[in-house]
Chain A
Amino acid sequence: MAELLSIDEALVNIEDGMEIMIGGFMAIGTPENVIDRIVDKNIKDLTIIANDTAEPDEGIGKLIVNRQIKKVVATHIGLNPETGKQMNNKEIEVELIPQGTLAEKIRAAGAGLGGILTPTGIGTIVEEGKEKKTINGEDYLLELPISADIALIKAWKADKKGNLVYRKSARNFNPVMATAADLVIVEVENLVEIGEIDPDDVMTPAAFVDIIVEVN
């Protein structure tokens, strides 16, 4: 059963230098309230694994602007000029991964797989240093699992056991990231009693969730 904590109680688990997955896509589905407290507490030297770095004034963008990130693993940073600036000044390391590959690398880690084979990136610089396999005449890249110390997830609704429901396009990377970190912290808009979410409607089962913080 997930623990119900305040944001500050939950953040006791986050230390300088940790690897953190953060859900969301251009800040839609990003746990903004948790991020705001990480900014306040100035936790530093973080490695962030996320789809993007949003814009400077939202979501992960705030951690970039406040210079709390050492390395970003993402698919796209183009809509946050501050990320590009810090990358060009060698103040931040950026590793770019194709979006579908990032999702599958995370899924592999969460699902106990040793990696996945994808055609994406064949013939490009993405294939550099990676093992290739030919299967039924097609070339694939072996992409290895990627996990994290912490996953910061945003859900629209949760019951007190930790079963989660996402809303609209705020789902994105949240469900898969919830499977692939040592500690999963979920920012929840609507907390309900056990039994109030139909088991058929659960998108992330409570087995993946460690800590719930209610913000509404």
Chain B
Amino acid sequence: MDKKLKREVIAKRIAQELNDGDIVNLGIGMPTMVGDYVPADIDITLQSENGFLGLGPAPEKGKEDKDLGNAGGQPVTIKEGGAFFDSTTSFGIIRGGHVDRTVLGALQIDENGNLANWMIPGKLVPGMGGAMDLVVGARQVIIASEHTIKGKPKILKECSLPLTAKGEVDLIVTEMAVIKVTDDGLLLKEYNSDFTVEEIIDATEADLIIPDDLKEMQIN
């Protein structure tokens, strides 16, 4: 499976998790793609942590507004019914539990629901931006991640990189599987039938609980 297809599978599957009326914050990169696959009968509101609700698609070329961008600084639009606010209100919305779901990328995730996604000491230190507040504050934290990096597992027994937050991850969606974080450990809920369950177990360092009602991922 090539990178483009992997990302498409992940984004499409996560889009199925969203419910009508949800307020959702999508991280930069692959999580942003989730917005492209939201079913037509589901109306969600995207929060942009730089200060608005009602994030819309990129404008046509030539129609960019210098005062309107997403959290990556790219030109975007705002939908009807949207609202602008300042950074304290934005993070009040986030920390205060008013965001239903956030979708973020990961460097590492572990079986205790710990997440590392903001730095690799000595190599890459972009900063946490709003990610630490989002994972603590959003009601559900969904991780969008390729299952492995350079053939090595990203879903570990214990994260080795500096954490973004402790025990806040609820669901992990990869191109191979949908995994729920439970008090007993990581529960394999769905598998992509392009892979065998054994292949998924091999690609995962953490132990996976395999339930009797294991389902196939449905990707349209």
**B86 close to chain A: CB less than 8 A:** yes
**Contact of A99 with B88 in the complex, beta carbons under 8 Å:** no
A208 within 8 A of B: no
| A171 in contact with B51 given A28-B73, A120-B95 (CB within 8 Å) | yes
Contact with B along A20-32 (1 / 0, CB 8 A): 0000011111000
Rounded to whole angstroms, the CA-CA distance of A162 and B163 in the bound complex is 43
Is A77's beta carbon under 8 Å from chain B? yes
> Which residue of the partner chain, among B50, B72, B133, B163, contacts A172 with CB atoms under 8 Å?
B50
A-binding segment of B61-69, B140-148, B202-210, B211-219? B61-69
Partner of A78, one of B68, B114, B126: B126
B162 beta carbon closer than 8 Å to chain A: yes
| Complex contact A120–B133 (CB within 8 A) | yes
CB-contact partner of A98 in B51, B67, B132, under 8 A: B132
Q: Which of B15-23, B164-172, B191-199 contacts A (4 or more CB under 8 A)?
A: B164-172
Query: Which chain A residues lie closer than 8 Å to B49 at the CB level?
Result: 99
Q: Which residues of B contact A120 (CB under 8 A)?
A: 95, 132-133, 136-137
Contact of B73 with A55 in the complex, beta carbons under 8 Å: yes
* 0/1 string, B11-48, CB within 8 A of A gives 1: 00000000000000000000000000000000000001
A101 within 8 A of B: yes
Task: Tell whether A168 pairs with B67 under 8 Å between CB atoms, given A120-B133, A121-B132.
Answer: yes
A62 to chain B, nearest CB (A): 15
The chain A residue sitting closest to B65, CB to CB, is A168
**In the bound complex, do residue A28 and residue B66 qualify as a contact, i.e. CB atoms below 8 Å apart?**
yes
Residue from B51, B131, B162, B167 having most chain A Cβ neighbours under 10 A: B51
Q: Is the CB of A171 within 8 A of B95?
A: no
- Per-residue CB proximity of A27-69 to B under 8 Å, as 1/0? 1110000000000000000000001101100000000000000
**A107 is an interface residue with CB less than 8 A from chain B:** yes
The range of chain A's interface size is: 35 or more
- A207: CB under 8 A from chain B? no
Answer whether residue A181 sits at the interface, using C-beta atoms and an 8 A cutoff.
Answer: no
A192 partner residues in chain B, CB cutoff 8 A: none
Please measure, in the bound complex, the distance between the C-alpha atom of A150 and the C-alpha atom of B10, giving whole angstroms. 46
B95 near A118: Cβ-Cβ < 8 Å: yes
Picked from B48, B51, B127, the residue with its CB within 8 Å of the CB of A96 is: B127
- Known contacts A54-B73, A119-B95, A124-B166; A168 and B125 CB within 8 A of each other: no
**Inter-chain contacts of A215 with B (CB < 8 A):** none
Q: Does B94 contact A (CB under 8 A)?
A: yes
Chain A nearest CB: distance from B168 CB in Å?
Answer: 9
Q: Which residue of A lies closest to B91 (CB)?
A: A100
Question: B residues engaging A (CB < 8 A)?
Answer: 48-52, 65-69, 71-73, 78, 84-88, 90-91, 94-95, 114, 124-133, 136-137, 162-167
What are 27 A-B contacts defined by CB distance under 8 Å?
A26-B71, A26-B73, A28-B68, A29-B67, A55-B73, A75-B129, A77-B125, A78-B127, A84-B126, A94-B125, A98-B130, A99-B129, A99-B132, A100-B130, A102-B87, A104-B88, A104-B91, A107-B88, A118-B95, A122-B165, A156-B67, A168-B78, A169-B84, A170-B66, A172-B51, A174-B86, A176-B86
- Apart from A120-B132, A169-B68, what are 8 other A-B pairs with CB-CB below 8 Å? A25-B50, A54-B73, A98-B132, A123-B167, A126-B132, A168-B68, A173-B87, A176-B88
